[in-house]
Structures are given as C-alpha cells and as structure tokens.
Structure 1
Amino acid sequence: MIELITLVILPMIFLIISMLLTIILLDKLNISNNIIIFFLNYFFPLFICLFIIPIIILKKQEKKLEYNEILKINIRQTKNKISLLLLITVLIIMFNFNKIGNFNIMIFFIIAFFEEFYYRGVIYYKIKKINLSIFSQILLNAIFFTFIAHNARSDISSYIYVFNAGIVLTFFRYYFDDLLIPILYHWIYNLITIISK
C-alpha cells in the first residue's frame, strides 16, 4: 500500500512544482506564442510527471514491469466502439468548433491521454495487484482521480462530477480491458465540458 501511495503522491508533487515553475518562467520570459505556452505549460509537465516519473517509480518497485498491462490497447476487440467514439467526437467538434477551437482540441486530448495513462494505466495496474474486489479497485482509482488530480475544485458538485467520471472511466478500463476507450471518453467529456460553459 505504501508503494501505491508513493506512486500516487510523488508524481503529483512534481506536477505542482513543475507547473508553478512553468508559470514563473512564462511570466519572466514574456512568451506569447501559443505553441510554446502549450508545450511548456501542458505537454512537458504532464509528460514528465504523469508518464516518465510513474514509469521510473514502477521500475523501482516492480521486479518485472508489465508494460503491456499498463498501456493495454485492444484495437481488434474495440474497433467498432472506437469508430463510434471518434464519430461522436468529430460531430461535437464540427458543430461547436467556434466554441472549442483548434488549440483546445489538442490540449484536451493531451490532458486526457496523460491523465488516463497515469490513472487508468499506471495506478490501475498497481491497484489490481492489491487483493481488493473489482468494486473496491474502481472506487479507489476514482478517489485518487478526484482528490489528487482534480483537487482545486471550488464546490462539492464539481467533485461529484469528477468522482462519477472517475468511476465510469475506471469501469471502462476494467470492462473493455483497454486504455484507449477511457482516453477517448475522457477527451469527449473534456470537449463537452467546454461546450456546456
């Protein structure tokens, strides 16, 4: 259990520190290019803290790291579901492009990918190794997702939405045994959230 807590807390501490340093750096350098801001503010911190650092921690904790269990994608089994999700995504983007914008589409996909890799890939992999029921595994993963990744919420109702999303995304990871489905659902969820504002 200590290994799981380390795997959950340590990358988040690094993420907070890296995002604070990025904000200071962007302010000091007075950068206005959206591409540079995107890479410095989103891509690099997420890549390092939700991809590289968890893999390093897992490699230290595990004798034999099963990468195929972490980043499990079953294209053949989920081809129809993925096609439907992509069609829904394209329709959402087409009918709401002015509200979403090119840049947000990319940002939301990167965020969805790295958060899902971390929570439904790495953390789910580690939780599965604990002797818990599938219900408890899904619940624990959703709790980590809600209170660790989305801890800056201003009201209780937004925590409820994120917690429910965490349950659904973790259930999809379990049910389809595939990481791509939660990534796409998370991306669609992010797009719908921005449209509904």
Structure 2
Amino acid sequence: MSVYSYSVTAMNGREVSLEEFKGKVLLIVNTASQCGFTFQYKELQNLYEKYKEQGLVVLGFPCNQFADQEPDSNEKVEAFCLLNYGVSFPMFQKLNVRDHDAHPLFTHLADSKPFRGFNEKHPVAKILIALIQEKLPHYMEGDSIKWNFTKFLIDREGEVFERFESTTDPYEMEPIIEYVLKR
C-alpha cells in the first residue's frame, strides 16, 4: 500500500489526501518544538528549499507523545516553526505516531521499514537512549516510532524507501534524497 491511501489534517483544518503529493519525493517527519533534535527543523527547511524544484516535499507532523515535548496548540506550533526556523514546508496538525491511537499513516510507515537502531555516535544519542531505557523501555520494542524527528523518505510512487531515526541529521540523508529524486 502506498502513502497515497492516507489523509491528514493541515494546520488550517483542511483534510489533505497524500495523493495530492503524487509524483513527488516526500520526507515525512514527526516533529516537536521542545526536543533535543528541534534544531533539525533548520536542516529540513534547507533541504526543502534546495530540492523542492526537483520534487522534494518535506511534511511535518508535530507529536506530543515523547516526554511532552510538543505541548502547545497547533497554532503556536505553526508560529514557532515559522518564526524560529522559517519553515515553509507543509505542517500538519498534531497527531500520535505510535501505540494504539497512532495515526494509520505512521503505523504504515513504521510497519514498512524496521527500526535498525540509533546512531550511537550522534552527540544526543547517549542522552536519548538512557532516557528511553529509564523512563520508557517499552518504546524500544518492535519497529514503532522511537522518538521525535524520525524521518521516512517516500519515493515518487508513494512507497517507503528508507527510514532515518532521530539520530540521523537531515544533511546526512542528502545523498539518498538525491538518489531517489533522480530515479
């Protein structure tokens, strides 16, 4: 099944079928404004600006499931992203990305590409892994989303091409994004 089967809610409340992005390369990201990885907004915006003419669209999905790092309203989240990081890529209303009330899109994404571990050389990795092991050890089970800024690269046919964990900075994905854009 492709991601085009799913609909999501834009910040303005409009239901958006992902089929609207058919033929584009998508980078779907669960985000949070008060996370150790929030700096990735800047890199995601830079990638979007650099590659949007070639067909890349970044889609941001705020989520408050990980240590309450996205507690604000959709309106405040949208303003935060614009004012602090100049985010111009599409942002959607807050949703859950794991467990029994996960949005079906994120269940599909997690089921499509397995969790292969965090990059333990990332400067935030030791803190993240210790936090999850201490407070949320069940989050490490299975292939579910483990933390904010998990990224899924979707090819032009709507299929999940690759999964990148929080500890993969967006610039590290650039060669793979370029490859998928040229396919």
Q: TM-score, normalised by structure 1?
A: 0.27
Larger-gyration structure (1/2): 1
More strand by share: 2
Q: TM-score, normalised by structure 2?
A: 0.28
More helix by share: 1
